[in-house]
């Protein structure tokens, strides 16, 4: 199940339909659930809650592309809503990139994104005077390093509790990337007083916890839905198996062998059909 979205998106109809729905949903979702930014006459919407899901499904490239396209259109319609100007695109894009790579078991990229963010933050005036402000971000970073691969493994678990907790952890890590870079932009572009950063700690912890929870619900329900669709659709199951074989087995099966020698010792090289049948048996274990 771990690469299920990657194989599903190899179907052109599924890919473009999903992209269209994702763009439409993001347009609608960005209009709701807004939070007041402390120290500024601006608000932040809950789009970070979508970043984990989009990174998980579409990967770092297409996920970022969706976020970028929607934000460009929104920016052209109402540029005043983007308090960091075009730099406002950076936090959500980095969040989706982190989610996309993390979902594909590549921890290096999100770790580098976090590390670069911490370097920028602690080199700012806020970082020097209030180094404890990103405590929630640091905890997310430690969770990423310590349990990143375990989180992805359990994300697709048949155990609903394990799956939801992993979805929550995954969402939390991604949501805090957005917060870290938002804090950096606020300090470098607006020079917000340090006291405002300190006052914001309880508020941002609550807001980001809520965002992470929303993101985990989206992820959990999406995985459950896809799992049920695969169980119900033999055609979809067959398509995924074929794509999996093409990517992982076909080149390995095309090997040169001495057929007479193989027949002499009764050895058979598994062909594509054999592998497919074996994988179908494995697929039946998905509950």
Strand-pairing partners, residue 45, are 34
Residue 150 shares a structural domain with residue 255? no
Residue 26 shares a structural domain with residue 138? yes
pTM above 0.95, yes or no: no
Residue 268 shares a structural domain with residue 145? no
Residue 134 shares a structural domain with residue 77? yes
Residue 136 shares a structural domain with residue 278? no
What pLDDT shows up at residue 142?
A: 97
- Residue listed under structure tokens 């470098």: 188
Residue 203 shares a structural domain with residue 276? no
Q: How many CA atoms lie within 13 A of 23 on its CB side?
A: 15
Cβ-Cβ contacts under 8 Å for 274 (sequence gap 6 or more): none
pLDDT in tens, 17-57: 888 888 887 777 666 656 555 444 555 666 788 899 999 99
Which has the minimum average pLDDT: 73-82, 98-107, 206-215?
73-82
Residue where a domain stops, chosen among 214, 232, 250: 232
The answer to whether 133 and 183 are in contact (CB under 8 A) is yes
Whether residue 207 is predicted with pLDDT greater than 80 in this model: the reply is: yes
What sign does the dihedral 101-21-235-224 (CA atoms) show? Answer: positive
Residue 205 shares a structural domain with residue 266? no
Residue 13 shares a structural domain with residue 153? yes
For the chain, strand residue ranges (E) read 34-36, 43-45
pLDDT in tens, 161-199: 999 999 999 999 999 999 999 999 988 988 888 988 888
Residue 74 shares a structural domain with residue 202? yes
Residue 53 shares a structural domain with residue 184? yes
Q: How many domains does the structure of the chain reveal?
A: 2
pLDDT tier at 118, thresholds 50, 70, 90: very high
Residue 178 shares a structural domain with residue 275? no
- Expressed as residue numbers, the domain containing 194 is 4-232
């Amino acid at each position: 199940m771990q690469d299920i979205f990657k194989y599903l998106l190899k179907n052109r109809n599924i890919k473009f339909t999903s992209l269209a729905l994702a763009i439409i949903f993001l347009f609608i979702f960005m209009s709701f659930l807004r939070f007041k930014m402390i120290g500024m006459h601006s608000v932040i919407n809950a789009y970070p809650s979508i970043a984990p899901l989009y990174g998980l499904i579409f990967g770092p490239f297409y996920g970022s592309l969706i976020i970028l396209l929607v934000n460009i259109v929104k920016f052209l319609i109402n540029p005043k809503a983007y308090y960091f100007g075009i730099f406002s695109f950076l936090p959500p894009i980095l969040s989706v990139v982190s989610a996309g790579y993390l979902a594909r078991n590549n921890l290096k990229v999100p770790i580098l994104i976090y590390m670069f963010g911490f370097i920028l933050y602690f080199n700012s005036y806020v970082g020097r005077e209030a180094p404890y402000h990103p405590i929630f971000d640091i905890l997310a970073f430690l969770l990423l390093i310590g349990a990143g691969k375990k989180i992805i493994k359990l994300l697709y678990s048949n155990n609903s509790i394990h799956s939801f907790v992993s979805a929550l952890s995954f969402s939390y890590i991604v949501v805090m990337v957005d917060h870290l870079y938002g804090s950096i932009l606020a300090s470098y572009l607006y020079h917000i007083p340090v006291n405002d950063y300190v006052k914001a700690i309880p508020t941002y912890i609550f807001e980001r916890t809520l965002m992470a929870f929303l993101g985990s619900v989206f992820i959990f329900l999406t995985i459950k839905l896809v799992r049920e669709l695969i169980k119900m659709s033999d055609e979809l199951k067959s398509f995924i198996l074929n794509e999996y074989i093409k990517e992982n087995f076909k080149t390995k099966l095309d090997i040169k062998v001495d057929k007479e020698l193989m027949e002499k010792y009764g050895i058979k090289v598994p062909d594509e059909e054999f592998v497919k049948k074996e994988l179908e048996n494995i697929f039946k274990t998905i509950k």
